[in-house]
Amino acid sequence: MAKKGRKSKKEALDKSKDFQGFFDEVRSETDRSAAIIVAAFLDEHIKQLLTNYLVNEEKETDLLLSSDSALGSFGARIRAAYCLGLLPKEYF
């Protein structure tokens, strides 16, 4: 199984700055809006986690993770990430 490459330290630092900006923005939202935004954010990040773990075949991974497929929902992605050992139990 071919795995995708790791990010550089610069990319990780840039992402952490974006991450902080994201949470600063969420704090200005209503509780309901913040919950929806954060859930969408987590869903996208779990999708990326699974994408990076799976084989490097974009067409196939896109099909597997598309909204009308087996791993298309937030709940299915969380369960798959946990069962693959990508998320610890307390996050699951």
Q: Would 7 be classed as within a structural domain?
A: no
In-domain check, residue 14: no
Would residue 90 count as lying in a domain?
yes
Statement: residue 32 has pLDDT above 80: yes
* Token representation of residue 52: 């990076």
The rounded distance, in Å, linking the Cα atoms of 84 and 54 is: 10
85: left (phi over 0), alpha (psi -120 to 50) or beta: left
Range of the domain at 87: 56-92
Question: Has residue 25 been placed in a domain?
Answer: no
Q: What is the pTM of this model?
A: 0.72
pLDDT score of 72: 93
Give pLDDT tens digits for 33-90.
889 888 988 898 899 999 999 999 999 999 999 989 989 999 999 999 999 999 999 9
Residue 39 inside a domain? The answer is no
